Structure 1
Amino acid sequence: MVSAGERARRTGSYRRYREGQNIRILVTGGAGFIGSHIIERLLDDGHEVVCLDNFDPYYDPEIKKSNIQPFLENKNFTLEVGDIRNRDTLTRLLEGTDYVFHEAAQAGVRISVEDPIKPHEVNATGTLNLLEASRDSGVKKIINASSSSVYGTVEYLPFDEDHPRRPVSPYGVSKLAAEEYCRVFSELYGLKSVSLRYFTVYGPRMRPDLAISIFTRKALANEPITIFGDGTKTRDFTNIKDIVRANLIAMQKGEGAYNIGGGHRVSIQTLAETIIETTGSSSEIRYADTVKGDAEHTFADTKKAERNLGWRPQVSLEEGLRRYAAWVSNSRS
């Protein structure tokens, strides 16, 4: 097996590897919610960061542009507008790259039910493309953004990493396929990887189509909040600061799959009520038909991450919701 030093020598990063200097990192989907927070931390740590994003209009590209606006004057930051499905783009960007944070994805459980092809092309085929290019370029490790959606049908709670994986949406299937490609490339080719199974991430710059974002903005405007279903579905919500910390740890240690969750199980009804109370809102709660493809429950057992990575969630949901509501209010002013 080729050593890390030899791989670094072949890709032109040997000097930095030998001298222990800051490293070159590619963040796919770097203009998105999670990717931009990871980049912010990497730049703060003095690393050289390349952001690859295609600014897909799944939600307003202007939001993504504003996410990375603060980085554009940083000499260690490079923005590349491109797609992980383009092999030539990846080959060029990965030359001399040490690590990859793979955040690029076609998100959206509900939209994947309507159009299952695109999530497969981006999340499964796109990840395979990235893995091949990374293997050929001598990348040391890939930190892959996976999802609690790989579990799907509940056999027991909380989910540990050995829980059967039976996704209930095409999105979940595509993320599971990406995980499996990462595993196979590690076993066959020695390309190290970690797949972090995120549980409903929230915080500043989060996607506008997610429940906490919608509920908070409605609450601040004293407008009705609509819940799909009867409100009894439960989720494990994870603050973005805990997600970023898990990613930075995973760059240095761990292989395989890890749950990264907030460690609490909250009903959608309780979430809405908590947001209304936190914001001092007069919003009323309304109900609409449930949506196909939505998981009934998610709840993370994070003992493996604590044991192997030394990671555990630190931001409580109540504190995280207060911080997020304050951020939304400030961004409006």
Structure 2
Amino acid sequence: MSTSTILITGGAGFIGSNLCDYFLQKGYTVICLDNFATGHRHNVAPFLSNFNFKLIEGDIRDYSVCKHAVDGVDFVLHQAALGSVPRSIKDPITSNEVNVSGFLNMLVAARDAGVKRFIYAASSSTYGDSESLPKVEDVIGKPLSPYAITKYVNELYAEIFSRTYGMETIGLRYFNVFGRRQDPNGAYAAVIPKFVMQMMKHESPVINGDGLYSRDFTYIDNVVQMNELAMLTTNPEAVNTVYNTAYGDRTTLNQMVHLLKDYLSVYDSSIGTIPIIHGPNRVGDIPHSLASIDKAKRLLGYAPKYAFADGLKEAVNWYWQNLK
């Protein structure tokens, strides 16, 4: 399989660059498509000298760019998107253009190029106002944000393309992914890298709400594993569907912050005394998130290697070594 060519859209982003790194090490030819709106050049800089790596700077909203990028490609790992619930609430038009129109451009381009399989980043936000726990793939609620709508529309388009054109598609509903290379800066930074950076600066992190909201935080290596399994599966029952991509356990924000303090205190003992501030709940947030990973285990052979605490320790070590 290392003779195959993989297109990774959003390949300069957090998840995309980790996928580029992994599959280059496996000997694949990797094409990265990114417009650097949220991705970073330093994430792909180490790959530029690799003969098997190609960087295309372009925007998935431009169909001609998508068509060029899929030429000669065997698999697409579509990570390109504008993430963040708050960003989508502030600017739903741009989120829709990138996440829906851009997604459709990629689907059409992949279909016309005869790509073997189209694996895409779906989202746990699709579960919306469903209160059932754990989250099971075929039980969803109504979306709670424009972002959630766009990610659900992706699933609907993928299903139609599978039925109508015979494309093989697999959606991976990511649950609060974290780990190395996740950007701690900017207005829409994810909670873990943002809190790590604040604590390293001896600033108090602000938890939205009372800290009892919980998430199925998922370490990046588990997500890479799921992408590889989705790409390589030969089980006909395993394609043209969606999977929760998570660890299958939940952690409250309070628990997460206490662990962060513990791990960072190894490097700087004064971090353990930093006070935590609680602010109002964030609009569009769901109270609790917990994935059932039974389907992925059964159909893909998924066996996540990193529990939350283990992954968090790895992430903290990476941030301290690279960003301090």
Query: What residue number does 1:25 align with?
Result: 6
The answer to whether the 8 A contact 2:214-2:288 is kept is yes
User: In structure 2, what is the equivalent of residue 252 of structure 1?
Assistant: 232
CA distance in structure 1 between the partners assigned to 2:203 and 2:79 by the alignment: 33
- The equivalent of 1:214 in structure 2 is 194
Query: Gaps spanning 5+ residues in structure 1: where?
Result: 1-19
Q: Does 1:105 align with 2:86?
A: no
Residues 74-118 of structure 1, C-alpha deviation per residue, up to 9 Å, x if partnerless? 001010100111111111221211110000001111111111111
Once the two structures are TM-superposed, the CA of residue 119 in structure 1 deviates from its matched residue by 1.2
- Could you tell me which residue of structure 2 aligns to residue 261 of structure 1? 246
Tell me if structure 2 keeps the 8 A contact 1:185–1:191: yes
Residues 1:288 and 1:46: Cα distance change in structure 2 (over 3 Å): same
Shift of residue 21, structure 1, vs aligned partner = 6.2
1:274 maps to which residue? Answer: 259
**Which of the numbers 311, 315, 321 marks the counterpart of 1:324?**
315
User: Which residue identity does 2:178 align to in structure 1?
Assistant: Y
Q: Identify the match of residue 93 of structure 2 among 112, 117, 122.
A: 117
Q: Distance in 2 between matches of 1:293 and 1:229?
A: 13
TM-score when scaled to structure 2? 0.93
1:81–1:233 distance in 2 versus 1, CA, 3 Å: same
Counterpart residue type for residue 100 of structure 1 = V
SS of residue matched to 2:260: helix
- What is the CA distance between 1:241 and its match in structure 2? 0.4
Aligned with 1:189 (options 154, 162, 165): 165
Alignment of 1:1-333 (within 5 A): 22-56=3-37, 58=38, 64-208=40-184, 209-253=189-233, 254-255=238-239, 256-280=241-265, 281=271, 282-332=273-323
Q: For the Cα contact (< 8 Å) 1:154–1:297, is it kept in 2? A: no
Q: Residue 23 of structure 1 aligns to which amino acid in structure 2?
A: S
TM-score normalised over the length of structure 1: 0.90
Which segment drifts farther, 189-198 or 316-325?
316-325
Runs of 4+ in 1 over 4 A off after TM superposition: none
Q: How far apart, in 1, do the equivalents of 2:114 and 2:210 lie?
A: 50
Matched-pair contact (CA < 8 Å) for 1:110–1:294: no
The letter for the 2-side match of 1:260 is: T
Q: Secondary structure at the match of 1:257?
A: strand
Alpha carbon RMSD of aligned pairs, Å? Answer: 1.3
Equivalent residue pairs, number = 309
Determine what percentage of the aligned residue pairs are the same residue: 39
Quick one: distance in 2 between partners of 1:139 and 1:177? 21
Letter in 2 for 1:278: Y
Amino acid at match of 1:289: P
Q: What is the alpha-carbon distance in structure 1 between the residues aligned to residue 323 and residue 288 of structure 2?
A: 33
Q: For residues 201 and 262 of structure 2, what CA distance do their matches in structure 1 show?
A: 13
Superposed CA offset, 1:22-65 (max 9, x none):
01111100000000011111111111111000011x5xx5xx11
